[in-house]
């Protein structure tokens, strides 16, 4: 047996099934979709090769451009609003002495729920007739707000729901990093007379920077691939106000059977995500030195 395992081909043999599956379910579909992206295939008839037409049309397509902007809004919202909030909440939870486990579990809870459940749940919260928020507004004599039916409110409503779902997950990540910082650093600063805010800002935050970077990376990736919550709550409506790249692609390809165009859109989304993450990696993450305690 010992000599058998020295034979390198044996190892190759072990990975063959995996590679075959990987090829069948990842490499092959990817290659074919690149091909479909250059055709006008509608899922039924012949596929005609039409060169870069799909890609040119995509950038001429006002609705698709609008959905790119929506993705960028989501990205900005997660990096500029969500991440600071996550850090603040983590710092708060890390310094409570009692029931810390309870807070941790509570904030984490939404991220173990399915997106469909959350979408429907918040759909009721936002409901103009029976919803929680509008009932509160009604008691103050205000007009109901059509959160998911009004083009001005719909995207923000979805962003809040999405933030509610995922913040807990990131909070737990950051909390773990904060609790991993040796206590003596904090105690030394306290003896030197630093206030709580000073200690948080000048000690804790710099020490957890690597994990904050991970959170930002995940947020960027998450913002670019967000689609499930949109499909559950508004299907991209009203009038495309909440369409993101992926939901627009799903509607075009699956709902309206424009597979060629849909595949081209998916390739654009892929390149978009790749470029943005690569940019963040090279510009921000690489420049930082490693934190050592």
Partner 1 sequence: MQKKLVSVLALSVAMSAFLAACGSNENNNTASPSPSESASPSPSPSESAPASESTAPEKVENFTVSLRHIQIGDAQKFRKAILDDVVTKTEADVPGLKIELDGVEDSVNRFTKLPAEMAAGNPPKIFDVFGGSGDTQKYAGAGRMLDLTPILDELGLKDKFLSGVLEPFSVDGKVYGLPIGGNTEGIFYNTELFAKYNLNPPTTWDDLIKAADTLKQNGITPFAVGSKGAWVPNMLVNTFIGRIAGEGTNAGFITGASQWNSPDVVAAYQLFADWEKAGYFTKGELGKEYGDMLNDFVAGKAGMMFDGSWRSSAFKNDAVGAEIAGKVAFVNLPAVPNGKGDQSSVNANYGEGYGFSSDLNDNELKAVKAFIKNMYSEEMQLRGLLEDGVLPSMKLTDVSQVTDPIVKQVLDVLNGATASFPHFDSVVQSKVYTETETQLQKLIAGKATAQEVGTAIQKVQDAENAAAAK
d(CA 155, CA 153): 6
Binding residue for partner 1, selected from 32, 151, 281, 282, defined by CB under 8 A:
151
149 lies in the binding site for partner 1 (CB under 8 A): yes
The reply on whether position 148 binds partner 1 by CB under 8 A is: yes
Reading the block at residue 143, the tokens are 């007009």
Q: Say which DSSP state 6 is in.
A: G
Q: How far is the CB of 199 from partner 1 (least distance, A)?
A: 47
CB of 137 to partner 1, least distance (A): 14
Whether the upstream peptide bond of residue 205 has omega within 30° of 0, thus cis, is no
User: What is the Cβ-side half-sphere exposure of residue 259, based on CA atoms within 13 angstroms?
Assistant: 14
- Residue 137 touching partner 1 (CB under 8 A): no
Query: Are the CB atoms for 104 and 169 separated by under 8 Å?
Result: no
Q: Which stretch binds partner 1 (CB under 8 A): 161-169, 185-193, 194-202, 256-264?
A: 256-264
* Backbone Cα Rg of the chain: 24
1 binds partner 1 (CB under 8 A): yes
> 146, 164, 270, 272: which one contacts partner 1 (CB under 8 A)?
146
Tokens 């103050």 map to which residue? 140
Q: How far is the CB of 270 from partner 1 (least distance, A)?
A: 22
Q: Which is nearer to partner 1, 16 or 190 (CB)?
A: 16
First vs last Cα of the chain: how many Å apart? 46
Rounded to 5°, angle at Cα 47 from 44 and 52: 130
Q: Which is nearer to partner 1, 110 or 240 (CB)?
A: 240
Q: Minimum distance from CB of 247 to partner 1 (Å)?
A: 13
Binds partner 1 by CB under 8 A, chosen from 222, 240, 260, 262? 240
Q: How far apart are CA 78 and CA 165, in angstroms?
A: 12
Cβ count within 10 A of residue 36: 23
- Does 121 interact with partner 1 (rule: CB under 8 A)? no
Report, in Å, the least distance between residue 217 CB and partner 1.
34
- Considering only 14, 98, 183, 290, the residue that binds partner 1 (CB under 8 A) is 14
């Amino acid at each position: 047996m010992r000599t058998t395992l020295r034979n390198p081909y044996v190892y190759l043999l072990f990975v063959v099934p995996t590679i075959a599956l990987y090829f069948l379910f990842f490499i092959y579909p990817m290659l074919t979709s690149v091909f479909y992206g250059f055709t006008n295939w509608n899922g039924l008839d012949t596929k005609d090769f039409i060169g870069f037409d799909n890609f040119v049309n995509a950038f001429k397509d006002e609705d698709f451009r609008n959905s790119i902007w929506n993705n960028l809004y989501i990205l900005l919202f997660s990096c500029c609003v969500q991440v600071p909030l996550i850090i603040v909440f983590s710092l708060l939870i890390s310094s409570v002495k009692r029931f810390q486990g309870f807070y941790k579990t509570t904030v984490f809870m939404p991220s173990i729920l399915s997106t469909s459940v959350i979408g429907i749940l918040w759909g009721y919260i936002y409901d103009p007739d029976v919803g929680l928020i509008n009932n509160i507004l009604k008691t103050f004599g205000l007009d109901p707000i059509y959160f998911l039916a009004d083009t001005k409110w719909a995207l923000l409503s979805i962003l809040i729901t999405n933030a509610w779902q995922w913040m807990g997950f990131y909070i737990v990540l950051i909390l773990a990093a904060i609790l991993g910082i040796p206590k003596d650093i904090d105690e030394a600063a306290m003896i030197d007379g630093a206030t709580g805010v000073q200690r948080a800002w000048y000690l804790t935050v710099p020490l957890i920077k690597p994990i904050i970077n991970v959170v930002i990376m995940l947020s960027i990736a998450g913002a670019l691939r967000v689609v499930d919550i949109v499909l559950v709550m508004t299907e991209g409506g009203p009038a495309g106000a909440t369409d993101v790249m992926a939901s627009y692609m799903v509607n075009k390809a699956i709902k309206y059977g424009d597979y060629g165009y849909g595949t081209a859109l998916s390739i654009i989304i892929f390149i978009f995500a790749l470029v943005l993450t690569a940019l963040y990696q090279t510009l921000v993450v690489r420049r930082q030195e490693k934190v050592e305690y």
